[in-house]
Structure 1
Amino acid sequence: MSGSLNNIYNNVSYALYLHSVEMIRLQEQVTTGSRINRPSDDPSCSYRVLTLNSQEKSLGNYINDLSEAVGTLDLSFTVIQDIQSAIVETKVRLTQVMGGIYNEENREQLAEGINDTLEKVVSLANTKHIGQYQFGGNNTKSAPYLVERTNGKITSVTYQGSLENREIEVAPGIKSSALHVGYDIFHSDDRSDPVFLGDTGAAAGSGTSSVKGDAWLTVTDDGGGSYDLSIDDGATKVNVAAEVLAGANIANIAVTNASGEVLYVDATNISSTGVDMVSVPGTYNIFDTLISVRDLLRNERELSDAQLRELQDNSLTVLDEINELIVQAEVTIGSKIGFLDNLKESLEKLKYDAEDEATLLQEADIAQIAIDLSRREVLYQMSLSIAGKLMSLSLLDFIG
């Protein structure tokens, strides 16, 4: 008898306990609004939710990186547009000079304007954003362009940034860069044969010269019936007769400057002294071009009007070359912005889908829970009523 009562008591107590546990679980779901509050609530769904949350976090990081990359590219695009505007303005001014609109005094003022443009372009090329230089490639800590000045005026601009891009992963398996190698944007690298502009009779040799942009070939009489050649204003000289005596080909004499750059000259038809400007198409950069235009307007070499006009006409061609470089950079950056924007939208959709699926798995159906909770409460009350009757059994109930 005692054993039977104990069994009844234990069974009733356990049943009430199960009811209370389930009611507590349902009440917790109502309070939190979540169907899964701990892994044990639904191990399979819990694992899926954890996977989705991890995916959502990873996608969020990619989206943040993309937003930063697009912002950086937008800034670069604006900078390059400003530089292109400066090039177009310079070309317009030079065209006006060639049309005779400016007198000598006006040309000096215009040269100052070109100098201001040069200062602006250098500043833009050294743009820094979020602690990183935009146009230094993989080297983002130091300014990519080093300036040398003479009497306060820029005479040389040297690229000291990296020639490699810094790439970041912007999506699983996809890498891109938001920073740029300035040398690839502002410098042309499609060397053609040198073009000699002048009256000395010098011409391009057959060797591959290493000078870039514009060079000035100075031809002077050596006093012995031959000529000295120099491309650094006489700092270093090459004597034509001496070179020929040493076995050099007069049609391909190497003239080297103090920096080690070489210009191969065909001296066969040199007939007079003077200064020739040597233009090397496909090797110009925006900075040296602006320096050259500024110095031409000042005419510090005291060139004749005919020479000036020829050189200014060549400068227009060079400005077109530089402008084409800048336009190509604009197109490239614009395309990259479009690609990254589209990629960002795709990742945002994937992130939304992951969030939505995780929410559906976790979110409690309040209406269904209310029904289940009501049912459980009824069952609990019925269980309590039955338990009360069972617990009131005594020995007398079993007699008779």
Structure 2
Amino acid sequence: MSGVLNNTYTDVTFSLNRHTAALGKLQEQMATGSHINRASDDPTGAYRVLGLSTQERALSNHMANVQEASDLIQSTSMAIEDMSGAMAQAKVNLTQIVSGTYGDGATGQQARSRMAGYIDDTLEQMVLSANTQVLGQYVFGGNASNTAPYTVTRSDGQITSVTYAGSEQNRDVELSPGVTTTVFETGSGVFQNSDRGTPVVDSVTGAGIGSGTSSVTGDAWLTVTNDGTNYKLSIDGGTTEVTVPLVGDVSNMAVTNAAGKVLYVDATNLSSTGLDMVRVPGTYDAFNVLLNLRDLLLNTQDLSESQQVSLIEASSASLQELTEILAEKQVTLGSSIGFLENHRERLDGIRFNVQSERSQVEEADIAQIAIDLSRHEVLYQMSLQIASKLMSTSLLDFI
């Protein structure tokens, strides 16, 4: 009899423990809403959920990269838009100056001086925009985005030179595996033209352009002096000079400044001393154009009014050239923003599919759990009733 009772007790205990464990697991799934609460619940499913979770985190990181890149490019586009608008307005004002709208003589110079003040304000604004920061990074610094890309030299509070100190290489970021985009542009690539043309001289001295390949950029002043015997040429205000010989071929003289830049000059027809402005189309940068234009309007070189107005008109063409470059850059940035938005939507779609697949594997079927709970509760109660009857067995049951 003892052996029978022991076996009965063991069977009843096993059955009750099994139903208790099943009820506990189902109640946990009901409370958490998850089919897998620990790896042992479903090893295969847990492994799959782990992989899907890793993929989802990677997609979220890529989407964050896309959003950050989009914000940076938006800021870059806005800065360029401000610059482009300022230069376009300067071009309109210059047209009025050149057309004589404000008169000539002293009256005209007063108007030009007022315009020089506007150009100076525009220059200050341009430098501020070129040093735009987003999240502590300079958007026009290229790879050197931790330091201001443009530095200025001042005299009596006015900017006298603007120097690019940033990187010459764009900085790209990875949006997703194998997909990159430029987010930090180089200032030299945005604000300077690099399509060098043939130099042009507005000559009052008889100087011409030589056949050599010059390396000067933007606008340069060719100073022609005479020591009583020979003409002398300089492109840095007389700091370095080249003497024109009285005999020999002088059609391609190399005039070098202190920085090592060269202008090839044809001195064959030199007839007087003076200042000639040399323009090199396709090499302008926005800051030096504004600097030269401001100084022209102030007539710092003491030019005749006719020469001054002529050179101002020529400089307005440089403004137009740079305005067009900025407009092209805005179009490029707009395309980049559109690409980023499309890429973000694609990543979001992939992430949604991953989340849906993970939910199917991980989340519990609440309706099925409710049914299973009811079934196991009934079985548990039945087991208790059967156990009570079995455990009440006495010696009389075996007689």
TM, length-normalised to structure 2: 0.95
Partner of 2:199: 194
Q: 389-398 or 268-277, which moves further after superposition?
A: 389-398
3-state SS of paired residue (2:364): coil
3-state SS of paired residue (2:373): helix
Q: Any stretches of 5+ residues in structure 2 without a counterpart?
A: 103-107
Partner of 2:19: 19
Partner of 2:122: 117
Size of the aligned set, in residue pairs, is 394
Partner of 1:314: 314
Matches within 5 A, 1:200-349: 200-224=205-229, 226-241=230-245, 249-349=249-349
Residue identity in the other structure for 1:110? M
Partner of 1:60: 60
User: Cα distance, 1:39 vs. partner?
Assistant: 1.1
Q: Any stretches of 5+ residues in structure 1 without a counterpart?
A: none
- Matched residues in 1 for 2:319 and 2:115: separation? 16
3-state SS of paired residue (2:188): helix
3-state SS of paired residue (2:101): coil
3-state SS of paired residue (1:177): strand
3-state SS of paired residue (1:193): coil
Contact 2:84 2:327 (C-alpha < 8 Å) held by counterparts = yes
- Matched residues in 1 for 2:172 and 2:77: separation? 18
Q: CA RMSD in A?
A: 1.5
TM, length-normalised to structure 1: 0.95
Residue identity in the other structure for 1:15? S
Contact 2:142 2:168 (C-alpha < 8 Å) held by counterparts = yes
Contact 2:97 2:111 (C-alpha < 8 Å) held by counterparts = no
User: Cα distance, 1:76 vs. partner?
Assistant: 1.2
- Matched residues in 1 for 2:48 and 2:354: separation? 10
- Matched residues in 2 for 1:380 and 1:313: separation? 99
Partner of 2:105: none
Partner of 1:182: 187
User: Cα distance, 1:5 vs. partner?
Assistant: 2.9
Q: 344-353 or 366-375, which moves further after superposition?
A: 344-353
Contact 1:201 1:267 (C-alpha < 8 Å) held by counterparts = yes
3-state SS of paired residue (1:341): helix
Partner of 1:88: 88
- Matched residues in 2 for 1:171 and 1:141: separation? 24
- Matched residues in 1 for 2:10 and 2:355: separation? 45
User: Cα distance, 1:68 vs. partner?
Assistant: 1.8
User: 1:189-211 deviations in whole A, cap 9, x for unaligned?
Assistant: 11111101112221111211111
- Matched residues in 1 for 2:290 and 2:171: separation? 29
Q: Name which of 145, 148, 155 aligns with 2:150.
A: 145
Q: Name which of 154, 157, 165 aligns with 2:159.
A: 154
User: Cα distance, 1:172 vs. partner?
Assistant: 2.0
Contact 1:19 1:380 (C-alpha < 8 Å) held by counterparts = yes
3-state SS of paired residue (2:225): strand
- Matched residues in 2 for 1:277 and 1:108: separation? 20
- Matched residues in 2 for 1:10 and 1:38: separation? 29
